[in-house]
Amino acid sequence: MLSIPVAEGRIALAQVIEKLRGNVLLAVFSELLDADGSCDVASLELDEPIFLAETMDLRIKDNTWPIVGNRDISRSITIPTYKVWVEPPGEYRVQDVHGNVGVAISPERASGMKPHKSFSPAVIETALRGFHGHGPWRRAFDDLTV
């Protein structure tokens, strides 16, 4: 579990769901906790993230987002599949989180899927502040939501 600063003395928790090449897929949870570390993260119910997003692992490596505990990934959290436009032949296909392109899908199915995107750690932090009312919510943050 990672600690992401949100506001003075308050943090949100995130969990690495999948390690990627230089990036990670993070599940970010809504509950705000005291930054003093007095909470036992293993006792929290963290089954429904507010954000599921790919980001660089820079903030983890430089300890800006320190590791504050360890726990199994909830079975309710699934690794997303994305849509990608393939030209030629001019069709949507499924793409996994690692960038592997798979089978063709209908435009109808593709309309309910997101394209594969990566977000900077700063966007994750700013979106968390916006979610909790400590800054503006921008339309671009909608792409982070589960």
The whole-number pLDDT of residue 146 equals: 84
Q: Is residue 62 part of a domain?
A: yes
Q: Is residue 98 part of a domain?
A: no
98/22 Cα distance (integer angstroms):
11
The whole-number pLDDT of residue 122 equals: 97
The whole-number pLDDT of residue 42 equals: 77
The whole-number pLDDT of residue 138 equals: 97
Q: Is residue 71 part of a domain?
A: yes
Per the structure, how many domains does the chain have?
1
Q: Is residue 26 part of a domain?
A: yes
Q: Is residue 107 part of a domain?
A: no
Q: Is residue 137 part of a domain?
A: yes
Please list the pLDDT of the chain residue by residue as tens digits (146 residues).
999 999 999 999 999 999 998 899 999 999 999 988 777 777 888 999 999 999 999 999 999 999 998 899 999 999 999 999 999 999 999 999 999 999 999 999 999 999 999 999 999 999 999 999 999 999 999 999 98
Q: Is residue 82 part of a domain?
A: no
Structural domain boundaries enclosing 128: 2-77+116-144
Q: Is residue 132 part of a domain?
A: yes
Cβ-count burial 31-57 (b if 16+ within 10 Å, e if not): ebbeeeeeeebeeeebeebbbbbbbbb
Residue whose token pair is 């909470």: 39
User: For the whole model, what pTM was predicted?
Assistant: 0.92
